[in-house]
Structure 1
Amino acid sequence: MNTTGNTIFITGGGSGIGRGLAEAFHKLGNKVIIGGRRESVLAATAAANPGMEFIVFDAASPESITAGAAELTRRFPALNLVINNAGVQWQHNFATEATLNEANVASEIDINILGVLRVSAAFLPHLKQQASATIINVTSGLAFTPMAIYPVYCATKAFVHSFSMSLRHQLRDIPVRVVELVPPWVETELAAAQPEQADHGEMKPMPLADFIAGAMESLATDGVELPIANAHFLHDSAVAPQAAEVFAMVNGAH
């Protein structure tokens, strides 16, 4: 994809991978708008990057998504790139926990799954009107090989991987590309929030700056499924060599 000349909206853009991508695209001269729930974090990120803008945007709220999409497409008619990055992660142990933490499960589903569906649907009417547009869905290497202490999170990312494949196929005759960015374990707030799980054997978190550099290099290609660094190992171990051919066979009549 073209990494310059874009008007970009990034959910979860105030910190972590979202902020890293926002700053990288901003440095390339793109118009970048970040969204998230924490206004103070968004404001600080925008202030550190003059020209970047922000909007309070809750990916778990249908009302916030609808209102935000309407405002952004009105204020930025050239908007042509949406990055679904917002996400949450919680541990669940069905072997030891007496009850299911409904609130944590609901937040993972609302943000990681429904947020991606709703944001994509809200912006697609506008994106279809652009000469060229892109939706980037940020998943995880754990979409392909799950880490069992995060069973719901991994399943939500597997959902987004599958959804990205279907959406890409549905939009194949429309100038809206669907790209899946597949991070490995990255040093972010998401990882730091659960320090007791810092020891994952041979797996070590990738410095955020290194991940962003690799992501931007991959995004500049024509690829549509982009595992970065160690995510290749998790991705490739689960994807059969003939997967693309089988997908084409299953969907040949649709």
Structure 2
Amino acid sequence: MSSIYQHFRPEEKQFIDTVLDWKQYVENTYAPKLTDFLDPRQQFILQSVIGEGTDVRFNLFGGSEQSERKRALLHPEYYQPVNGDFLVGLYEIEYPRKFIKLEHPMVLGSLMSLGVKRDKFGDILVNEERIQFFSSEEIESFLMTGLREIGRASVHLRKLPVEEAIQESEQWKEMEISAASLRLDGIISAAFNLSRQKSQALIEQKLVKLNWKTVESPAAECLEGDLISARRLGRCKIIELLGTTKKNKVRLKIGLLK
């Protein structure tokens, strides 16, 4: 069992244990287990822990093919999931667009102020004046009655079929890079073509997030499945570790969104 943990960060042990509990539940009950929304790193951990060729399988769905945050459905081998099994709802925010501008952080802040865990919400989609978000259908009635204001704007929600989700124009560009190490400052330098000094300054100024959490240590180690965002530069996700070069640098396949 300890061999599982050695491939992950110490702070990820609790989530690994949770995945193992989900797996045990499916094995014992021979019934599906639906999770809350998982970020890409959690999805990677789940995939690593469940593995292939076991009696327990899993599928992921977040509302659309582009979704970053997704719910997982762990299930016995015989079970064939459909999108409706994931209980993902799409909600559009109606508000006085002529008089006020709503942005992603404002929407997320208002959702969090309802006292609901972030895990209950998927991606927030913004396209000019239109704003939508994915959420667990289990809390739909609470959302419909609870979300009345965002900032100074009065709002109400309209549920839509998930097929009507805004198609975001952002495209991830896949590429291979070499970095001196898996340190956060080294990955940022290689991905965004910056000097190590500038990368360290960004981190120390609290302008960098690793898996949605602000990190202040340039020496923080990055792993496969991590997502890095640097303010004013964009986002980078580590898709795969490809080994080392002859000069002992780390080779990685990354996705880049500027």
- TM tier, shorter chain? under 0.3
TM-score, normalisation: structure 1:
0.26
Query: RCO higher in 1 or 2 (8 Å CA, sep ≥ 6)?
Result: 1
- Structure with greater helix percent: 1
TM-score (norm 2): 0.26
Give the strand-richer structure, 1 or 2: 2
| Structure number, greater radius of gyration | 2
